[in-house]
Structure 1
Amino acid sequence: MEPRQQGLLDKEALKEVDEDMVSEVDLNNMITDEEREEMLNELTKLEEEIATLKQVLDSKEKRHLDLKEKLGITPLGELRHNFSKNWNDMQSSTAYKKTSETLSTAGQKTSVAFSNLGTAISRKFGDMRNSPSFKSFEEKVETTVSNIKSKVGGTGGAGSFEEVLSSAAHASAQNTPTNNVTESSENTC
Protein backbone atom coordinates (compact mmCIF):
# COMPACT_ATOMS: atom_id res chain seq x y z
CA MET A 1 0.00 0.00 0.00
CA GLU A 2 1.07 3.52 -0.68
CA PRO A 3 1.88 5.81 2.19
CA ARG A 4 -0.87 8.43 2.64
CA GLN A 5 -0.12 12.08 2.51
CA GLN A 6 -1.07 14.02 5.59
CA GLY A 7 -3.24 16.98 4.77
CA LEU A 8 -5.51 19.40 6.51
CA LEU A 9 -8.44 16.99 6.53
CA ASP A 10 -6.51 14.06 7.91
CA LYS A 11 -7.78 13.20 11.43
CA GLU A 12 -4.62 11.36 12.48
CA ALA A 13 -2.46 14.44 12.04
CA LEU A 14 -4.80 16.51 14.21
CA LYS A 15 -4.90 13.90 16.96
CA GLU A 16 -1.16 13.82 17.24
CA VAL A 17 -0.89 17.62 17.45
CA ASP A 18 -3.62 17.80 20.14
CA GLU A 19 -1.93 15.15 22.26
CA ASP A 20 1.39 16.96 22.04
CA MET A 21 -0.21 20.23 23.21
CA VAL A 22 -2.00 18.56 26.13
CA SER A 23 1.19 17.03 27.40
CA GLU A 24 2.96 20.42 27.20
CA VAL A 25 0.12 22.09 29.15
CA ASP A 26 0.18 19.43 31.80
CA LEU A 27 3.92 19.85 32.23
CA ASN A 28 3.58 23.62 32.68
CA ASN A 29 0.69 23.45 35.18
CA MET A 30 2.14 20.86 37.44
CA ILE A 31 2.69 22.06 40.99
CA THR A 32 4.04 20.18 43.91
CA ASP A 33 1.87 19.05 46.79
CA GLU A 34 3.76 21.40 49.07
CA GLU A 35 3.03 24.43 46.81
CA ARG A 36 -0.59 23.39 46.55
CA GLU A 37 -0.90 23.20 50.35
CA GLU A 38 0.63 26.68 50.72
CA MET A 39 -1.78 28.11 48.19
CA LEU A 40 -4.78 26.54 49.93
CA ASN A 41 -3.65 27.96 53.28
CA GLU A 42 -3.17 31.42 51.76
CA LEU A 43 -6.61 31.20 50.13
CA THR A 44 -8.22 30.29 53.46
CA LYS A 45 -6.50 33.19 55.22
CA LEU A 46 -7.60 35.62 52.51
CA GLU A 47 -11.20 34.46 52.79
CA GLU A 48 -11.10 34.94 56.58
CA GLU A 49 -9.63 38.46 56.19
CA ILE A 50 -12.29 39.35 53.63
CA ALA A 51 -15.04 38.18 56.01
CA THR A 52 -13.51 40.22 58.85
CA LEU A 53 -13.20 43.32 56.67
CA LYS A 54 -16.86 42.96 55.62
CA GLN A 55 -17.91 42.83 59.28
CA VAL A 56 -15.82 45.90 60.10
CA LEU A 57 -17.24 47.77 57.10
CA ASP A 58 -20.83 46.86 58.07
CA SER A 59 -20.16 48.10 61.62
CA LYS A 60 -18.66 51.37 60.34
CA GLU A 61 -21.57 51.95 57.92
CA LYS A 62 -24.08 51.39 60.75
CA ARG A 63 -22.22 53.86 62.98
CA HIS A 64 -22.11 56.33 60.08
CA LEU A 65 -25.90 56.15 59.64
CA ASP A 66 -26.50 56.47 63.40
CA LEU A 67 -24.37 59.62 63.61
CA LYS A 68 -26.12 61.17 60.61
CA GLU A 69 -29.50 60.40 62.14
CA LYS A 70 -28.52 61.97 65.48
CA LEU A 71 -27.23 65.07 63.67
CA GLY A 72 -30.44 65.34 61.66
CA ILE A 73 -28.73 64.88 58.34
CA THR A 74 -31.31 63.49 55.92
CA PRO A 75 -30.80 62.23 52.39
CA LEU A 76 -32.82 65.20 51.11
CA GLY A 77 -30.63 67.60 53.10
CA GLU A 78 -27.52 65.98 51.68
CA LEU A 79 -28.96 66.25 48.18
CA ARG A 80 -29.67 69.96 48.69
CA HIS A 81 -26.18 70.53 50.08
CA ASN A 82 -24.56 68.68 47.16
CA PHE A 83 -26.70 70.56 44.64
CA SER A 84 -25.84 73.90 46.23
CA LYS A 85 -22.13 73.03 46.34
CA ASN A 86 -22.14 71.87 42.71
CA TRP A 87 -24.05 75.01 41.64
CA ASN A 88 -21.49 77.25 43.36
CA ASP A 89 -18.64 75.26 41.83
CA MET A 90 -20.20 75.61 38.41
CA GLN A 91 -20.72 79.36 38.80
CA SER A 92 -17.09 79.83 39.73
CA SER A 93 -15.88 77.86 36.72
CA THR A 94 -14.30 79.73 33.84
CA ALA A 95 -16.65 78.12 31.33
CA TYR A 96 -19.69 79.46 33.21
CA LYS A 97 -18.15 82.93 33.49
CA LYS A 98 -17.33 83.02 29.77
CA THR A 99 -20.80 81.81 28.86
CA SER A 100 -22.39 84.38 31.16
CA GLU A 101 -20.32 87.18 29.66
CA THR A 102 -21.18 86.02 26.14
CA LEU A 103 -24.91 85.90 26.92
CA SER A 104 -24.74 89.31 28.56
CA THR A 105 -23.05 90.78 25.49
CA ALA A 106 -25.58 89.07 23.23
CA GLY A 107 -28.43 90.48 25.33
CA GLN A 108 -27.01 93.99 25.08
CA LYS A 109 -26.61 93.68 21.32
CA THR A 110 -30.15 92.32 20.99
CA SER A 111 -31.49 95.22 23.05
CA VAL A 112 -29.71 97.70 20.81
CA ALA A 113 -31.02 95.91 17.71
CA PHE A 114 -34.63 96.06 18.98
CA SER A 115 -34.20 99.71 19.88
CA ASN A 116 -32.93 100.44 16.37
CA LEU A 117 -35.80 98.42 14.91
CA GLY A 118 -38.33 100.44 16.94
CA THR A 119 -36.78 103.69 15.77
CA ALA A 120 -36.84 102.53 12.16
CA ILE A 121 -40.49 101.49 12.41
CA SER A 122 -41.43 104.84 13.99
CA ARG A 123 -39.61 106.66 11.23
CA LYS A 124 -41.38 104.58 8.57
CA PHE A 125 -44.79 105.30 10.14
CA GLY A 126 -43.92 109.00 10.19
CA ASP A 127 -42.89 108.84 6.55
CA MET A 128 -46.07 106.95 5.71
CA ARG A 129 -48.25 109.52 7.53
CA ASN A 130 -46.63 112.31 5.55
CA SER A 131 -47.10 110.50 2.25
CA PRO A 132 -49.63 111.83 -0.29
CA SER A 133 -51.59 108.53 -0.21
CA PHE A 134 -52.11 108.70 3.55
CA LYS A 135 -53.03 112.38 3.42
CA SER A 136 -55.61 111.61 0.73
CA PHE A 137 -57.04 108.78 2.86
CA GLU A 138 -57.12 111.03 5.93
CA GLU A 139 -58.99 113.76 4.01
CA LYS A 140 -61.55 111.23 2.79
CA VAL A 141 -62.14 110.00 6.34
CA GLU A 142 -62.55 113.58 7.61
CA THR A 143 -65.01 114.37 4.81
CA THR A 144 -67.01 111.23 5.58
CA VAL A 145 -67.10 112.05 9.30
CA SER A 146 -68.23 115.62 8.55
CA ASN A 147 -70.98 114.33 6.27
CA ILE A 148 -72.17 111.90 8.95
CA LYS A 149 -72.16 114.67 11.56
CA SER A 150 -74.18 117.00 9.40
CA LYS A 151 -76.75 114.32 8.50
CA VAL A 152 -77.16 112.85 11.97
CA GLY A 153 -76.65 115.80 14.25
CA GLY A 154 -77.69 118.62 11.98
CA THR A 155 -75.04 120.79 13.59
CA GLY A 156 -73.04 121.21 10.42
CA GLY A 157 -69.82 119.58 11.56
CA ALA A 158 -69.69 120.70 15.18
CA GLY A 159 -68.73 118.18 17.88
CA SER A 160 -66.36 115.26 18.11
CA PHE A 161 -66.66 111.93 16.37
CA GLU A 162 -67.70 110.31 19.66
CA GLU A 163 -70.49 112.86 20.06
CA VAL A 164 -71.72 112.11 16.55
CA LEU A 165 -71.75 108.36 17.23
CA SER A 166 -73.54 108.93 20.54
CA SER A 167 -76.22 111.12 18.94
CA ALA A 168 -76.62 108.61 16.10
CA ALA A 169 -77.14 105.82 18.60
CA HIS A 170 -79.63 107.97 20.54
CA ALA A 171 -81.56 108.85 17.41
CA SER A 172 -81.57 105.23 16.33
CA ALA A 173 -82.92 104.10 19.72
CA GLN A 174 -85.82 106.55 19.49
CA ASN A 175 -86.92 105.24 16.08
CA THR A 176 -86.78 101.51 16.85
CA PRO A 177 -89.83 99.33 16.10
CA THR A 178 -90.12 98.31 19.77
CA ASN A 179 -91.01 101.89 20.71
CA ASN A 180 -93.65 102.01 17.99
CA VAL A 181 -95.13 98.71 19.14
CA THR A 182 -95.29 99.96 22.71
CA GLU A 183 -97.05 103.15 21.62
CA SER A 184 -99.58 101.25 19.49
CA SER A 185 -100.36 98.80 22.28
CA GLU A 186 -101.02 101.71 24.65
CA ASN A 187 -103.45 103.25 22.15
CA THR A 188 -105.44 100.04 21.81
CA CYS A 189 -106.13 99.67 25.52
Structure 2
Amino acid sequence: METRQQGFLDSEPLREADEDLVSEVNLNNMTEEEREEIQQELVKLEEEISTLKQVLLSKEKQHADLKQKLGITPLAELRNNFSRGWHDMQTSTAYKKTSETLSTAGQKTTAAFSTLGSAITRKFGDMRNSPSFRSFEEKVENTVSSIKTKVGSSDTGGSFEEVLSSAANASSQDPPANNLRDSSERPC
Protein backbone atom coordinates (compact mmCIF):
# COMPACT_ATOMS: atom_id res chain seq x y z
CA MET A 1 0.00 0.00 0.00
CA GLU A 2 1.06 3.50 -0.78
CA THR A 3 1.38 5.94 2.11
CA ARG A 4 1.05 9.60 1.40
CA GLN A 5 0.61 12.66 3.54
CA GLN A 6 -2.48 14.73 2.77
CA GLY A 7 -3.10 18.28 3.82
CA PHE A 8 -6.43 19.42 5.21
CA LEU A 9 -7.42 21.00 1.90
CA ASP A 10 -5.86 18.52 -0.50
CA SER A 11 -6.79 19.43 -4.06
CA GLU A 12 -6.23 15.94 -5.48
CA PRO A 13 -9.40 13.83 -5.81
CA LEU A 14 -9.63 10.46 -4.15
CA ARG A 15 -8.40 7.62 -6.30
CA GLU A 16 -9.93 4.16 -6.44
CA ALA A 17 -7.13 2.79 -4.29
CA ASP A 18 -7.95 5.40 -1.61
CA GLU A 19 -11.63 4.43 -1.63
CA ASP A 20 -10.76 0.75 -1.32
CA LEU A 21 -8.50 1.55 1.61
CA VAL A 22 -11.30 3.45 3.40
CA SER A 23 -13.88 0.69 2.85
CA GLU A 24 -11.42 -1.99 4.04
CA VAL A 25 -10.75 -0.05 7.22
CA ASN A 26 -14.45 0.41 8.00
CA LEU A 27 -15.29 -3.22 7.25
CA ASN A 28 -12.37 -4.60 9.19
CA ASN A 29 -13.20 -2.63 12.32
CA MET A 30 -16.91 -3.56 12.28
CA THR A 31 -18.44 -6.78 13.50
CA GLU A 32 -21.12 -8.59 11.56
CA GLU A 33 -23.65 -7.70 14.23
CA GLU A 34 -22.82 -3.97 13.99
CA ARG A 35 -23.05 -4.18 10.23
CA GLU A 36 -26.56 -5.75 10.37
CA GLU A 37 -27.66 -3.13 12.90
CA ILE A 38 -26.52 -0.32 10.63
CA GLN A 39 -28.24 -2.00 7.67
CA GLN A 40 -31.53 -2.20 9.60
CA GLU A 41 -31.20 1.44 10.70
CA LEU A 42 -30.61 2.43 7.09
CA VAL A 43 -33.71 0.54 5.90
CA LYS A 44 -35.78 2.11 8.68
CA LEU A 45 -34.52 5.58 7.80
CA GLU A 46 -35.35 5.07 4.11
CA GLU A 47 -38.90 3.99 5.07
CA GLU A 48 -39.32 7.11 7.23
CA ILE A 49 -38.10 9.32 4.38
CA SER A 50 -40.60 7.67 2.03
CA THR A 51 -43.41 8.17 4.55
CA LEU A 52 -42.46 11.81 5.07
CA LYS A 53 -42.44 12.39 1.29
CA GLN A 54 -45.96 10.93 1.04
CA VAL A 55 -47.19 13.07 3.94
CA LEU A 56 -45.61 16.16 2.39
CA LEU A 57 -47.27 15.47 -0.98
CA SER A 58 -50.61 15.02 0.78
CA LYS A 59 -50.18 18.30 2.69
CA GLU A 60 -49.18 20.15 -0.49
CA LYS A 61 -52.31 18.84 -2.26
CA GLN A 62 -54.47 19.89 0.70
CA HIS A 63 -52.77 23.31 0.67
CA ALA A 64 -53.49 23.77 -3.05
CA ASP A 65 -57.14 22.69 -2.59
CA LEU A 66 -57.69 25.19 0.23
CA LYS A 67 -56.15 27.99 -1.83
CA GLN A 68 -58.38 27.11 -4.75
CA LYS A 69 -61.48 27.19 -2.51
CA LEU A 70 -60.46 30.63 -1.24
CA GLY A 71 -59.86 31.87 -4.81
CA ILE A 72 -56.17 32.50 -4.27
CA THR A 73 -54.54 32.23 -7.68
CA PRO A 74 -50.81 32.07 -8.37
CA LEU A 75 -51.07 35.54 -9.94
CA ALA A 76 -52.75 36.96 -6.82
CA GLU A 77 -50.05 35.36 -4.67
CA LEU A 78 -47.35 36.85 -6.85
CA ARG A 79 -49.01 40.27 -6.63
CA ASN A 80 -49.28 40.00 -2.83
CA ASN A 81 -45.66 38.87 -2.52
CA PHE A 82 -44.53 41.76 -4.72
CA SER A 83 -46.59 44.28 -2.72
CA ARG A 84 -45.27 42.90 0.56
CA GLY A 85 -41.70 42.98 -0.74
CA TRP A 86 -42.10 46.55 -2.03
CA HIS A 87 -43.54 47.64 1.32
CA ASP A 88 -40.74 45.91 3.21
CA MET A 89 -38.16 47.58 1.00
CA GLN A 90 -39.70 51.04 1.46
CA THR A 91 -39.75 50.65 5.22
CA SER A 92 -36.15 49.46 5.38
CA THR A 93 -33.59 51.84 6.84
CA ALA A 94 -31.38 51.56 3.75
CA TYR A 95 -34.22 52.72 1.49
CA LYS A 96 -35.09 55.59 3.83
CA LYS A 97 -31.47 56.74 4.04
CA THR A 98 -31.06 56.51 0.26
CA SER A 99 -34.30 58.42 -0.29
CA GLU A 100 -33.25 61.16 2.12
CA THR A 101 -29.82 61.40 0.51
CA LEU A 102 -31.30 61.67 -2.99
CA SER A 103 -33.78 64.29 -1.78
CA THR A 104 -31.00 66.35 -0.23
CA ALA A 105 -28.91 65.98 -3.38
CA GLY A 106 -31.85 67.14 -5.50
CA GLN A 107 -32.38 70.20 -3.31
CA LYS A 108 -28.69 71.08 -3.47
CA THR A 109 -28.65 70.60 -7.25
CA THR A 110 -31.70 72.86 -7.62
CA ALA A 111 -30.04 75.50 -5.46
CA ALA A 112 -26.83 75.23 -7.50
CA PHE A 113 -28.68 75.68 -10.80
CA SER A 114 -30.59 78.62 -9.37
CA THR A 115 -27.34 80.24 -8.26
CA LEU A 116 -25.79 79.52 -11.67
CA GLY A 117 -28.77 81.07 -13.44
CA SER A 118 -28.57 84.19 -11.26
CA ALA A 119 -24.83 84.48 -11.91
CA ILE A 120 -25.32 84.16 -15.68
CA THR A 121 -28.10 86.77 -15.62
CA ARG A 122 -25.91 89.14 -13.60
CA LYS A 123 -22.97 88.59 -16.00
CA PHE A 124 -25.17 89.33 -19.02
CA GLY A 125 -26.38 92.49 -17.28
CA ASP A 126 -22.79 93.50 -16.54
CA MET A 127 -21.80 92.72 -20.12
CA ARG A 128 -24.66 94.78 -21.53
CA ASN A 129 -23.59 97.76 -19.43
CA SER A 130 -19.94 97.41 -20.47
CA PRO A 131 -18.37 99.99 -22.84
CA SER A 132 -17.49 97.38 -25.48
CA PHE A 133 -21.12 96.15 -25.66
CA ARG A 134 -22.36 99.76 -25.87
CA SER A 135 -19.97 100.34 -28.74
CA PHE A 136 -21.22 97.18 -30.47
CA GLU A 137 -24.83 98.24 -29.87
CA GLU A 138 -24.13 101.64 -31.45
CA LYS A 139 -22.56 99.99 -34.50
CA VAL A 140 -25.61 97.77 -34.91
CA GLU A 141 -27.91 100.79 -34.62
CA ASN A 142 -25.84 102.66 -37.24
CA THR A 143 -26.00 99.63 -39.54
CA VAL A 144 -29.77 99.41 -39.09
CA SER A 145 -30.14 103.11 -39.87
CA SER A 146 -27.97 102.68 -42.93
CA ILE A 147 -30.08 99.74 -44.11
CA LYS A 148 -33.25 101.76 -43.57
CA THR A 149 -31.87 104.57 -45.63
CA LYS A 150 -30.81 102.25 -48.47
CA VAL A 151 -34.13 100.43 -48.44
CA GLY A 152 -35.91 103.72 -48.70
CA SER A 153 -38.09 103.48 -45.71
CA SER A 154 -39.72 106.81 -44.99
CA ASP A 155 -40.22 106.31 -41.25
CA THR A 156 -37.12 106.28 -39.08
CA GLY A 157 -38.66 104.26 -36.27
CA GLY A 158 -39.36 100.54 -36.18
CA SER A 159 -37.87 97.48 -34.73
CA PHE A 160 -34.88 95.58 -35.97
CA GLU A 161 -37.15 92.76 -37.20
CA GLU A 162 -39.18 95.21 -39.29
CA VAL A 163 -36.03 96.59 -40.87
CA LEU A 164 -34.74 93.10 -41.70
CA SER A 165 -38.06 92.03 -43.22
CA SER A 166 -38.25 95.21 -45.33
CA ALA A 167 -34.66 94.64 -46.48
CA ALA A 168 -35.55 91.06 -47.41
CA ASN A 169 -38.63 92.24 -49.34
CA ALA A 170 -36.57 94.85 -51.21
CA SER A 171 -33.87 92.37 -52.15
CA SER A 172 -36.37 89.77 -53.38
CA GLN A 173 -37.98 92.32 -55.71
CA ASP A 174 -34.69 93.55 -57.21
CA PRO A 175 -32.18 90.72 -57.64
CA PRO A 176 -28.53 91.83 -57.91
CA ALA A 177 -26.95 91.85 -61.33
CA ASN A 178 -24.12 89.45 -60.47
CA ASN A 179 -26.62 86.60 -59.80
CA LEU A 180 -27.98 86.93 -63.35
CA ARG A 181 -24.79 85.76 -65.02
CA ASP A 182 -24.82 82.51 -66.93
CA SER A 183 -23.25 79.59 -65.13
CA SER A 184 -20.84 79.12 -68.05
CA GLU A 185 -19.34 82.56 -67.34
CA ARG A 186 -18.36 81.66 -63.77
CA PRO A 187 -14.69 80.91 -63.15
CA CYS A 188 -13.77 77.38 -62.19
| Superposed pair shares fold, TM > 0.5 | yes
CA displacement at 1:28 relative to structure 2: 5.8
Measured after TM superposition, the shift of residue 121 of structure 1 is 0.8
**8 Å Cα contact 2:148/2:163 also seen in 1:** yes
**AA partner of residue 108 (structure 2):** K
Q: Is the 8 A contact 1:153 1:167 kept in 2?
A: no
Match of 1:92 in 2: 91
Deviation for aligned residue 1:32: 3.8
Name 1:15's counterpart in structure 2: none
Cross-structure match for 2:82? 83
Matched residue, 2:29: 29
How far apart are residue 26 of structure 1 and its match? 7.1
Between the two proteins, the alignment pairs up a number of residues equal to 155
Q: Which aligned pairs between 1:42-61 and structure 2 lie closer than 5 A?
A: 42-61=41-60
The structure-2 alpha-carbon separation of the partners of 1:32 and 1:154, relative to structure 1 and needing over 3 Å to count, comes to closer
After superposition, the CA RMSD in angstroms is 2.8
1:185 counterpart residue number: none
Q: Which protein has the larger Cα radius of gyration, Structure 1 or Structure 2?
A: 1
Which residues of structure 2 form unaligned runs of 5+?
1-20, 177-188
- Cα distance per residue 1:129-154 (max 9 Å; x no partner): 11111111100000000110111034
Structure 1 distance, partners of 2:139, 2:26, is 114
Structure richer in helix, relative to its length = 1
Q: Matches of residues 117-156 of structure 1 in structure 2 within 5 Å?
A: 117-155=116-154
> How does the TM-score come out when normalised to structure 2?
0.70
Higher mean C-alpha deviation, range 142-151 or range 160-169: 160-169
Aligned to 1:155, what secondary structure does the other structure show?
coil
1:109 is matched with which residue? Answer: 108
User: How far apart, in 2, do the equivalents of 1:84 and 1:93 lie?
Assistant: 14
The structure-2 alpha-carbon separation of the partners of 1:154 and 1:40, relative to structure 1 and needing over 3 Å to count, comes to closer
Identity of aligned residues (%): 75
Structure 2 SS opposite 1:151: helix
Contact 2:147–2:167 (CA<8 Å) still a contact in 1? no
Aligned to 2:67: 68
Check whether the contact 2:144–2:160 (CA below 8 A) recurs between aligned residues: yes
- The C-alpha deviation readout for 1:97-153, integer Å capped at 9, x for no partner, is 222222222221221111111111111111111111111110000000011011103
SS at match of 2:154: coil
